[in-house]
């Protein structure tokens, strides 16, 4: 009995020591495994970053090289249409119109790709300039009104003030306004109206809204609208082209301006794309 008790007393300490040893060995092996995998992940991540950098560089070079010839094709086609329209037969004029439209769409795609490559490479630089926002918006409305006339759409501008000094990059803001108005025109029916509204608030001083009466977007699709190459179930009313890049680029530009961009829309109820930025650069 005494022998049994002594062996029992010895068994438990040995057992506990063995369990602890196995436990610590297991933890050590687990930590080693996790550390090894962490190193692999870091190496893979660095490799992917290098590949992505090369990809952006290639896209930038290719897009830049393609942009020039496309611009020449577009310009020469426009000259032929404008200057020799009376001398050309209708079939040739129609072909030239197709070439002009196709080259214009291609130039838009190339510009978007250039912006995407700059954004992903972190090289999109905002050049702030304090200037009157109202004449800038008025000019953008005028430019897009020419495009809207093809669908008999009227663009109306509504402002609270005649003058509004804001810090912003005119070049990139032209892209944002152009993207929003272009989309509003594409997704609106003929003989409708688009409202561009500029207002002020205490929280986000400058609010710009582009409101249309078009086919709208289902609420379930709102969260993905501002992602790259994202397209919705809604389609342009007259078969216009869409790259799925414009809204994603616009979001990046507005974010770099320390602002916010969003949408209010329902199916068959029109859309309100809006963004807000501070009056002065933070």
- Domain identity same for 146 and 249: yes
Tokens for 121?
């490479």
Please list, residue by residue across 103-139, b when 16 or more beta carbons sit within 10 angstroms of its beta carbon and e when fewer do: bbbbbbbbbbbbbbbbbbeeebebeeeeeebbebbee
Residue 92 belongs to a domain with what CATH number? 1.10.287
Please check whether residue 151 lies inside any domain of the structure: yes
Q: Among 105, 124, 143, which residue terminates a domain?
A: 124
d(CA 51, CA 18): 49
- Domain identity same for 246 and 209: yes
Which residue in the block uniquely carries the two structure tokens 């989309």?
A: 183
- Domain identity same for 147 and 224: yes
Q: Among 97, 124, 151, which residue terminates a domain?
A: 124
Tokens for 190?
């003929």
- Domain identity same for 60 and 145: no
Among 50-64, 77-91, 93-107, the range scoring the smallest mean pLDDT is 50-64
- Domain identity same for 181 and 101: no
- Domain identity same for 138 and 237: yes
Instruction: Give the pLDDT confidence score for residue 54 in this predicted structure.
Output: 63
Tell whether the model's pLDDT for residue 11 goes beyond 60.
no
- Domain identity same for 116 and 137: no
214-248 pLDDT tens trace: 999 999 899 888 887 777 888 889 888 777 778 98
- Domain identity same for 86 and 137: no
17-51 pLDDT tens trace: 677 777 778 888 888 888 878 888 887 777 667 66
Better-predicted residue by pLDDT, 271 or 95: 271
Number of structural domains (the chain) is 2
196-221 pLDDT tens trace: 999 997 766 899 999 999 999 999 89
Tell whether the model's pLDDT for residue 4 goes beyond 90.
no
Contacts of residue 256, defined as CB under 8 A and 6 or more positions apart, other chains included, come to 124, 126, 172
Domain membership of residue 99 as a residue range: 1-124
Q: Among 96, 124, 152, which residue terminates a domain?
A: 124
Residue 185 belongs to a domain with what CATH number? 3.30.565.10
Q: How many residues are given for the chain?
A: 282
- Domain identity same for 118 and 135: no
From the list 102, 163, 168, the residue with the least C-alpha distance to 134 is 163
Nearest 5 degrees, angle CA 246-CA 182-CA 281?
60
- Domain identity same for 118 and 134: no
- Domain identity same for 56 and 146: no
Angle between helices 246-256 and 90-120 (to 10 degrees): 40
Among 47-56, 68-77, 110-119, 228-237, the range scoring the smallest mean pLDDT is 47-56
Please check whether residue 282 lies inside any domain of the structure: no
- Domain identity same for 177 and 220: yes
126-175 pLDDT tens trace: 889 999 999 999 999 988 888 898 899 999 999 988 899 999 999 889 88
């Amino acid at each position: 009995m005494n022998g049994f008790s002594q062996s029992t007393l010895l068994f438990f300490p040995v057992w506990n020591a063995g369990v602890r040893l196995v436990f610590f060995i297991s933890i050590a092996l687990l930590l080693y495994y996790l550390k090894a995998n962490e190193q692999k992940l870091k190496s893979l991540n660095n490799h992917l970053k290098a590949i992505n950098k090369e990809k952006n560089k290639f896209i930038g070079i290719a897009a830049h090289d393609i942009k020039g010839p496309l611009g020449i094709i577009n310009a020469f086609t426009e000259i032929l249409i404008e200057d020799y329209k009376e001398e050309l037969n209708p079939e040739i004029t129609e072909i030239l119109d197709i070439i002009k439209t196709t080259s214009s769409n291609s130039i838009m795609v190339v510009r978007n790709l250039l912006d995407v490559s700059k954004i992903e490479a972190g090289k999109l630089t905002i050049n702030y300039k304090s200037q009157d926002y109202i004449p800038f918006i008025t000019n953008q409305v005028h430019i897009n009104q020419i495009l809207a006339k093809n669908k008999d759409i009227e663009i109306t501008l509504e402002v609270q003030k005649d003058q509004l000094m804001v810090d912003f990059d005119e070049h990139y803001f032209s892209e944002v306004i152009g993207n929003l108005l272009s989309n509003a025109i594409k997704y609106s029916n003929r003989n409708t109206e688009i409202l561009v509204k500029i207002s002020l608030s205490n929280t986000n001083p400058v609010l710009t809204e582009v409101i249309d009466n078009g086919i709208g977007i289902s609420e379930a699709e709102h969260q993905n609208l501002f992602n790259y190459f994202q397209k919705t179930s809604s389609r342009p009313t007259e078969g216009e082209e869409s790259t799925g890049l414009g809204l994603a680029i616009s979001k990046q530009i507005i974010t770099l301006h320390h602002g916010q961009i969003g949408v209010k829309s329902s199916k068959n109820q029109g859309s309100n794309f809006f963004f807000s930025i501070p009056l002065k650069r933070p």
